[in-house]
Structure 1
Amino acid sequence: MNEAEFLAEAEATLLALEDAIDECEGALDFESSSGILTIDCEDTDTQVIVSRQLAMQQIWVAAKSGGFHCQWDDGQWRCTTTGESLHELLNRVLTEQSDGPITL
């Protein structure tokens, strides 16, 4: 994947996450700026940070449970340590940091 392709995929992913958060039933809010999506878990006053990392061509997730790196693999972002898709990973860490289940 070249730099332009990475930026396009990462931007599309972050925008899709914003839409999913808007539609989510959970107590979530977000702020987005310059390739960094800050997701606020309002019921527990915690955050999950999702950011694009151009040099590594990865999307990184920072949560209370740790840091995770997602690599583009066969048409989706996949966590390099857990094997979860980015959406599976976010559903898990957001549920862990919220008072109820979260499904994006």
Structure 2
Amino acid sequence: MTDLEFLDRAELLLKAVELACDRINDDGDADIDNQRVGGMITLTFENKSQIIINLQKPLHEVWLAARSGGYHFKFDGQHWADTKGQGEFFERLSKDASTQTGLALTFQA
């Protein structure tokens, strides 16, 4: 994957996260503050816990940091897959956001 291909794919992922936050805020009881600065999004929940998503351009990875730990994802041609085989990006984000808020939250591409 070239640098430009990575940036295009990563931008789609970040935009999907932002749109999912808007949808979740509009449709449910969650209040997610999503702050984007360049290639990093910080999700802050009502209980002040956070999830941070940022791009690692030299590695062509997206990193996710949550209470449960830190995860690295690479695009496998179809999905952003965990580099240690622990699942797909949006599954991980949904699981961690749900755990941290106590609400059933779903993020998807």
Q: TM-score, normalised by structure 1?
A: 0.93
Count of equivalent residues: 103
Alignment check: 8 A CA contact 1:22 1:29 kept: no
The equivalent residue for 1:6 is 6
45-54 vs 82-91, which deviates more?
82-91
Of 62, 76, 79, which aligns to 1:73?
A: 76
Letter in 2 for 1:16: A
Runs of 4+ in 1 over 4 A off after TM superposition: none
Q: Which has the higher helix share?
A: 2
Q: TM-score, normalised by structure 2?
A: 0.89
Cα displacement (A) at 1:102: 1.1
Q: Which runs of no fewer than 5 residues in structure 2 stay unpaired?
A: none
Q: Which runs of no fewer than 5 residues in structure 1 stay unpaired?
A: none
Q: Which has the higher strand share?
A: 1
Identity %: 31
Q: Please, what is the CA RMSD of the aligned residues?
A: 1.1
Cα displacement (A) at 1:12: 1.2
The equivalent residue for 1:22 is 22
Of 91, 94, 108, which aligns to 1:91?
A: 94
